[in-house]
């Protein structure tokens, strides 16, 4: 029977059970199981291997034992995935289990082989069958990997699921220490409840520090240690990781995949301790979480407090070399177009922090980044605003979306409050996402020049589709394609995700004036009526 996408395929080599001990196979180089396991495409595949008896504090350090697993696809592609020490394989800190987590992107027969300097963990082989994803797969599992799809030729500036739609980010920026000790988010259950809340509002990304030792809150790290000072001692060349904590993160991140919320992992906080073993840290994060279909990495919040830009870009090269899935990457607060950033093949999106008084400036900033990419002959970066100010001002995200960018809402302190404290911001941000997703936004580009009178931003795909945001109301006059008929409808920016368009009508092409149905800011959708309609 085909496994459900949430069911883990666990091919265990020489597993020593607490109840029924099992011996190692006579020939460890033969397939580990005579039975071919079957698994759904894109689902998590876990394969466990028995190595030397150890513990998280053991000597020699089990985390220094590297195991790479080479997977060979049905079409002959080879993918090398790092494995990790996993104690007893059930969250315990002592045992002899090393594990690899993998996500297959092809159906058919796969094979694998381990490579390690440790004899017990070297040369282990096996095979499994991958079938189509389950029809009822939840969330992101049904669409496959979220990837940077842009090239210099296709001019795509959004991320896209391999077998699903383009992704328009409407993210949550706070609290950045969501994995830390805030009383409103300090248990797995509270964090899951927070994800439920965000998902219900249409928020589809969560910004989370995975290391802030010495940083703003000093309460999040993956290394072994109950205090920051102990974790620091365990984060250098002799890195040791907290298996139980990372298993809790895994459960949360998988839950987020189900709920349609992308884990956006920020690998270092601003002014945090930077003396850790970067490569070992990155390897552990990829080994444990890289199989997730939707995952974003950010090198550092306010990177400039600890690094120069060439150094930061070099670390993103290291991450790219470790990550077989090539998850999208960015570096926080390169805020103005920088040719070094635009030219780098190791970043896929911007991570902009603005401190502007006029939220409408985000429209211009987004266009400046896109234009710089075009002039350099590079792929278009995803223009991502991570800390837009003024906080919670919807004019900021509307102007960014209509400029070709995406948004993550930064909120006012204090951060240790229920997420509902910042309503109606979440609801309205989810509503802006709904407006954008009613359009072929990935085919549209900024065209403010089409607004001939009045104040509005325009994103369009002439002659078919036009979207406008009127930050101060109307009327506005817009130049539509000649010799065409259009349907138009209005969207109230105070709407939530389930809001409806209103005051619809039809109009001919050419210069046309539109007047919103009420005071305040409004959005307008204009779509050509085809002969088939």
Q: In the chain, which segments carry CATH 3.20.20.80?
A: 165-437
pLDDT for residue 31 is more than 70: no
Among 464, 467, 421, 461, residue whose Cα is nearest residue 444:
461
| CA-only gyration radius of the chain, Å | 25
SS3 159: strand
| Matching residue, tokens 């279909």 | 293
C-alpha to C-alpha distance for 206 and 196, rounded to whole angstroms: 12
pLDDT score of 218: 97
CATH placement of domain 443-528: 2.60.40
At residue 145, φ and ψ (nearest 5 deg) are -75, 140
Q: What is the CATH number of domain 165-437?
A: 3.20.20.80
Enumerate the CATH 2.60.40.10 domain ranges in the chain, comma separated.
9-139
What's the pLDDT tens digit per position in 113-137? 999 999 999 999 999 999 999 899 9
pLDDT at site 17: 32
pLDDT tens sequence across 6-28:
334 444 433 333 322 322 333 33
Architecture of domain 9-139: Sandwich (2.60)
Q: What pLDDT was estimated at residue 27?
A: 33
How high does pLDDT run on average in the chain?
93
- Residue 154 neighbours by CB under 8 Å, 6+ apart: none
- Residue 201 structure tokens: 């509002």
Residue from 497, 498, 502 nearest 523 by CA: 502
Alpha carbon distance 236, 281 (integer Å): 9
- Rounded to the nearest angstrom, the gap between the alpha carbon of residue 284 and the centroid of all alpha carbons in its chain is 17
- Compute the residue count for the chain: 533
- Cβ atoms within 10 A of the Cβ of 179, count? 26
Question: 374 vs 154, 377, 445, 463, 499, CA distance in Å?
Answer: 11, 5, 13, 22, 35
State pLDDT tens for residues 407-460.
Answer: 999 999 999 999 999 999 999 999 999 999 999 999 999 999 999 999 999 999
Confidence of residue 532 (pLDDT cuts 50, 70, 90): low
Three-state DSSP at 238 gives coil
The pLDDT, as a whole number, for residue 318 is 98
% of the chain residues with pLDDT over 90 = 92
Of the ranges 297-301, 443-447, 528-532, which one carries the lowest mean pLDDT score?
528-532
Q: Give long-range contacts, CB 8 A cutoff, 24+ apart: 182-187.
A: 182/415, 182/416, 183/416, 184/416, 184/417, 184/418, 185/416
Task: Tally Cβ neighbours within 10 Å of residue 295.
Answer: 24
Q: How many CA atoms lie within 13 A of 425 on its CB side?
A: 23
**pLDDT value at 321 more than 90:** yes
CB distance 526 to 466 below 8 Å: yes
């Amino acid at each position: 029977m085909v496994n459900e996408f949430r069911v883990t395929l666990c091919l265990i080599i020489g597993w020593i059970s607490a109840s029924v001990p099992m011996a190692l196979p006579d020939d460890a180089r033969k397939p580990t199981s005579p039975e071919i396991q079957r698994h759904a495409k894109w689902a998590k595949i876990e394969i466990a291997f028995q190595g030397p008896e150890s513990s998280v504090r053991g000597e020699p350090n089990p985390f220094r034992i590297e195991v790479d697993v080479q997977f060979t696809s049905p079409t002959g592609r080879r993918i090398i995935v790092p494995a990790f020490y996993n104690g007893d394989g059930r969250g315990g800190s002592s045992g002899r289990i090393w594990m690899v987590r993998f996500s297959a992107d092809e159906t058919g027969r796969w094979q694998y082989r381990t490579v390690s300097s440790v004899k017990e963990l070297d040369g282990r082989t096996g095979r499994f069958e991958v079938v189509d994803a389950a029809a009822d797969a939840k969330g992101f599992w049904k669409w496959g990997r979220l990837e940077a799809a842009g090239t210099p030729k296709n001019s795509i500036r959004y991320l896209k699921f391999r077998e699903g739609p383009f992704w328009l980010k409407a993210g949550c920026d706070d609290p950045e220490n969501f994995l830390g000790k805030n009383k409103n988010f300090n248990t797995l259950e509270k964090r899951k409840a927070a994800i439920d809340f965000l998902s219900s509002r249409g928020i589809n990304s969560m910004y989370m520090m995975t290391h802030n030792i010495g940083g703003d809150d000093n309460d999040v790290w993956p290394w072994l240690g109950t205090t920051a000072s102990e974790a620091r001692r365990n984060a250098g060349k002799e890195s040791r990781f907290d298996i139980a904590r990372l298993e809790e993160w895994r459960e949360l991140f998988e839950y987020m995949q189900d709920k349609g919320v992308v884990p956006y992992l920020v690998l270092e906080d601003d002014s945090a301790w930077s003396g850790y073993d970067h490569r070992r840290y990155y390897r552990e994060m990829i080994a444990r979480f890289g199989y997730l279909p939707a995952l974003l990495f950010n090198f550092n919040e306010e990177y400039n407090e600890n690094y120069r830009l060439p150094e930061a870009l070099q670390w993103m090269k290291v991450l790219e070399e470790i990550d077989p899935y090539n998850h999208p990457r960015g570096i926080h607060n390169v805020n103005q177009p920088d040719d070094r950033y635009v030219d780098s093949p190791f970043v896929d999106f911007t991570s902009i922090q603005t401190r502007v008084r006029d939220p409408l400036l985000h429209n211009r900033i987004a266009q400046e980044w896109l234009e710089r990419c075009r002039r350099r002959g590079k792929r278009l970066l995803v223009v991502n605003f991570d800390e837009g100010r003024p906080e919670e001002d919807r004019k900021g995200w509307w102007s960014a979306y209509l400029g070709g960018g995406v948004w993550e809402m930064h909120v006012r302190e204090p951060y240790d409050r229920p997420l509902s404290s910042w309503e109606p911001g979440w609801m309205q941000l989810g509503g802006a996402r709904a407006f954008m997703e009613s359009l072929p936004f990935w085919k549209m580009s900024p065209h403010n020049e089409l607004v001939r009178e009045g104040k509005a931003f325009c994103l369009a795909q002439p002659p078919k589709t036009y979207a406008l945001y009127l930050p101060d109301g109307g009327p506005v006059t817009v130049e539509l394609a000649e010799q065409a008929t259009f349907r138009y409808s209005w969207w109230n920016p105070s709407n939530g995700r389930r809001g409806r368009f209103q005051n619809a009508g039809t109009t001919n092409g050419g210069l046309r004036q539109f007047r919103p149905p009420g005071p305040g800011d409004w959005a307008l959708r204009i779509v050509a009526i085809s002969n088939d309609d």
